[in-house]
Amino acid sequence: MATDDTFVLARTLGACVRETRRAQGLTQEELAEGADVSERLVRQIEKGTATGISLDRLVRVLSFLGLGLQLKSGPIPVARSQGEEYTATLQSVLLRWDDYE
């Protein structure tokens, strides 16, 4: 069962995916095709409602956008509002794929 923090993190991650996709001039369909996932999954990720997806599919979407996951020890800070906390959370969860490899 997902916690409130899981839902907030999923929405934060989704917002980052959406903003990155738009900044790259991609449609949801193009992202889905490039990442070899369904367009429905891309919509769910962007809305923050794809909380039960496989890590493999999430990494394919992030990788196609040039993003990756950063794992930290201890709890990951979760954004509960816009502004600096939102930015800090995105930076703690996502990084450039080049830095990940």
We report the CATH number of the domain holding residue 16 as 1.10.260.40
**Alpha-carbon radius of gyration of the chain:** 13
Residue 31 contacts residue 22 (beta carbons within 8 Å): no
**50/25 Cα distance (integer angstroms):** 23
> Shortest CA distance to 51 belongs to which of 5, 4, 6?
6
Residue given tokens 């449609």 in the structure block: 27
**The predicted structure's pLDDT at residue 82:** 44
**The predicted structure's pLDDT at residue 87:** 47
**The predicted structure's pLDDT at residue 74:** 56
In one letter, which amino acid is 84? E
For the chain, how many structural domains are there in total? 1
Domain that holds residue 59: 4-100
C-alpha 19: how far from chain center? 10
**36/3 Cα distance (integer angstroms):** 29
* pLDDT (tens digit per residue) in 39-95: 999 999 999 998 778 889 999 999 999 998 776 655 555 544 444 444 444 544 554
The CA-based dihedral angle spanning residues 89, 11, 3, 36, taken in that order and rounded to the nearest 10 degrees: -110
User: Regarding beta strands 67-69 and 94-96, do their DSSP bridges make them parallel or antiparallel, or are they unpaired?
Assistant: antiparallel
